[in-house]
């Protein structure tokens, strides 16, 4: 979870049919998944990242018609070396089980196509000797994700026990998430609920869209403050689909400001506002990334069992944009 964007590792669920009943669960998943490793499937079952009807079973368990088989974590990417990099991290909390940071903008969470360095994973590899290895060598400790340009609270697992606890909580929707966004246009109502399925865009593979065959997705929005042509909104995603908040706001005709995929413009300058502060040139940049921030993250601590909530202060560029919007409104 939003993780937003991809705010959590995206799991998979399978419903057993009559024809599949009686098969060992590890063999069943070996046919369904593209992991190319029955050994990894067995390990996942034993460690609890793969469950049947939300219960831990043995790899030899014979599935029955109607069973739901949940895979709580993705297979790791191909084995590769992760280059440790001394990149700055703003740590909000750290203990023996977890690490909570305030993610900066313009940094991917882990390596991917086109970026093998300069990610949070590279920074984690440099700063911490022990992190969970459940998600593979390129994703140490990573249990959920935020988009490259989204800022805010991100939780990292130091141990495999903590990793499985966190992925299970994300999967079962036991994690509470609050995001702050600045949307384009003036939103009319004080509250909106979007309950629409999200899947891959039928014509653009890098985008997500509301599609009939998509995965169930639910977001509640609360309007906090209105400006000239913009709205400050608080977002409460119940699910954690890729780009969920961005897609749901775009479906309301109020995309996030500076959203390069779903919005109307890629950057905002002082000249885009109704008036200029004294001495500010019209072309001076205010914002050039999506105005989306993961504000709070609440969950059950994997070691203590306590309910915890962590909060990240608004990123400086979003705060500067808000200040300019308020100044413009006062001067209008």
Catalytic site residues?
Answer: 147
3-state SS class at 218:
strand
Give bridge partners of residue 237 from the DSSP assignment: 219
3-state SS class at 310:
strand
- 16: which residues sit within 8 A by CB, 6+ positions away? 28, 63, 64, 65, 66, 67, 68, 69
DSSP per-residue string spanning 260-284: TTTSS-S-EEGGGSSS--TT--TT-
Distance CA 295, CA 219 (A): 15
DSSP per-residue string spanning 180-206: EEEEES--SSSEEEEE--EEE-SS-TT
3-state SS class at 19:
coil
Distance CA 319, CA 315 (A): 6
């Amino acid at each position: 979870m939003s993780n937003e964007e991809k705010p959590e590792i995206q799991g998979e669920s399978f419903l057993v049919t009559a024809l599949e009943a009686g098969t060992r669960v590890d063999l069943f998943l070996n046919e369904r998944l593209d992991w190319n490793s029955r050994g990894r499937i067995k390990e996942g079952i034993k460690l609890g990242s793969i469950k049947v009807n939300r219960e831990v079973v043995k790899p030899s368990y014979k599935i029955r018609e109607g069973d739901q088989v949940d895979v709580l974590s993705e297979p790791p990417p191909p084995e590769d070396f992760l280059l440790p990099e001394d990149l700055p991290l703003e740590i909000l909390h750290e203990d023996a089980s977890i690490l909570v940071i305030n993610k900066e903008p313009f940094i991917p969470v882990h390596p991917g196509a086109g970026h093998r360095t300069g990610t949070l994973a590279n920074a984690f590899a440099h700063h911490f000797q022990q992190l969970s290895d459940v998600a593979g060598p390129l994703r140490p400790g990573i249990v959920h994700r935020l988009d490259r340009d989204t800022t805010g609270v991100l939780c990292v697992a130091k141990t495999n026990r903590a990793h499985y606890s966190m992925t299970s909580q994300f999967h079962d929707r036991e994690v509470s998430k609050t995001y702050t966004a600045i949307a384009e246009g003036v939103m009319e109502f004080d509250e909106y609920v979007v309950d629409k399925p999200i899947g891959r865009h039928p014509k653009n593979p890098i985008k997500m869209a509301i599609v009939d065959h998509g995965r169930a997705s639910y977001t509640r929005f609360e309007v906090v403050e209105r400006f000239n042509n913009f709205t400050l909104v608080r977002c409460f995603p119940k699910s954690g689909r890729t780009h969920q908040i961005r897609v749901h706001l775009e479906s309301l005709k109020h995309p996030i400001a500076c959203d390069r995929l779903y919005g109307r413009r890629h950057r905002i300058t002082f000249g885009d506002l109704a008036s200029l502060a004294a001495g500010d040139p019209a072309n001076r940049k205010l914002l050039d990334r999506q105005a989306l921030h993961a504000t709070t993250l609440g969950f059950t601590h994997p070691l203590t069992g306590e309910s915890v909530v962590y909060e990240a202060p608004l990123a400086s560029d979003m705060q500067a944009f808000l200040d300019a919007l308020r100044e413009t409104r006062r001067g209008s």
